[in-house]
Chains A and B, each alone.
Chain A
Amino acid sequence: DMKVTQMPRYLIKRMGENVLLECGQDMSHETMYWYRQDPGLGLQLIYISYDVDSNSEGDIPKGYRVSRKKREHFSLILDSAKTNQTSVYFCASSLSLGGGNTLYFGAGTRLSVL
């Protein structure tokens, strides 16, 4: 079953707290992504991971960091969260190296930073 799983689905944090968003995939995909989605702004790429410990900044990496220690697992970390990081975060994976071809998305994590 081809699936991208995100945990948690909903999260409320206070400003200044640390946040860990987790993502797993069961397709052995090399490439994984973190996006955030805000109304009117579409999907904004935060980070790409091309394989274990091979991560690259996307378009809006400031305030975020990532960790990929296993091919099937990709984490997004917010150190000292800010209110403007309130958003819906999507993880995705794809088969090919280089960020092309079909992306498979998780159901998203809705993060509120108060």
Chain B
Amino acid sequence: QQQVRQSPQSLTVWEGETAILNCSYENSAFDYFPWYQQFPGEGPALLISILSVSDKKEDGRFTIFFNKREKKLSLHIADSQPGDSATYFCAARGGVTSGGNYKPTFGKGTSLVVHP
């Protein structure tokens, strides 16, 4: 059961453009949404995160826009650089395992390629 969905699966942009990565969720109980960045051969690492009480979070060239009513959020990467080429995972806090314990829920990721 996938409760966090990401689109597109892959995205290619030119250097300097704004890349927009989308994420949606189903569970109203989700209250915290971290985005992780993963380079080839490495583990994911936290990039930026937002709490559901906010509608926007900025960190340099990276901005999360959050729409609680529609259960959607997006990650905007302004002035994209070739070094931003990576896989980006949207995650949510508030999922539950089959045993009833809390767990983080990950989307399947968006693979971003930035061409110079």
Contact = CB atoms under 8 A, between A and B. Distances in A.
Interface of A: 4, 40-43, 45, 48, 50, 56-59, 90, 92, 94, 98-108
Interface size class of B (residues with CB under 8 A): 20 to 34
Given A59-B97, A100-B93, A102-B49, A108 B103 contact: no
B97 A103 contact: no
B97 A100 contact: no
Contacts of B102: 98-100
A40, A43, A101, A104 pick with most chain B CB within 10 angstroms: A43
Contact of B108 (A41, A57, A92): A41
B103 A101 contact: no
Interchain residue pairs A-B with the least CB separation, the first 7: A105-B43, A42-B108, A100-B93, A98-B102, A99-B103, A99-B102, A56-B101
Contact of B45 (A56, A58, A105): A105
Nearest to B49: A102
B98 interface: yes
Contacts of A59: 97-98
B44 A43 contact: yes
Contacts of A57: 97-99
15 contacts: A48-B101, A56-B99, A57-B99, A58-B103, A90-B43, A92-B43, A99-B95, A100-B94, A100-B104, A103-B36, A103-B44, A104-B45, A105-B45, A106-B43, A107-B43
Contacts of A56: 97, 99, 101
Interface in B77-116: 89, 91, 93-95, 97-99, 101-104, 106-109
B70 interface: no
B93 A101 contact: yes
B57 to A, nearest CB: 14
Nearest to B93: A100
Given A57-B97, A100-B104, 9 more contacts: A40-B108, A41-B108, A43-B89, A98-B102, A103-B44, A103-B91, A103-B104, A105-B36, A107-B43
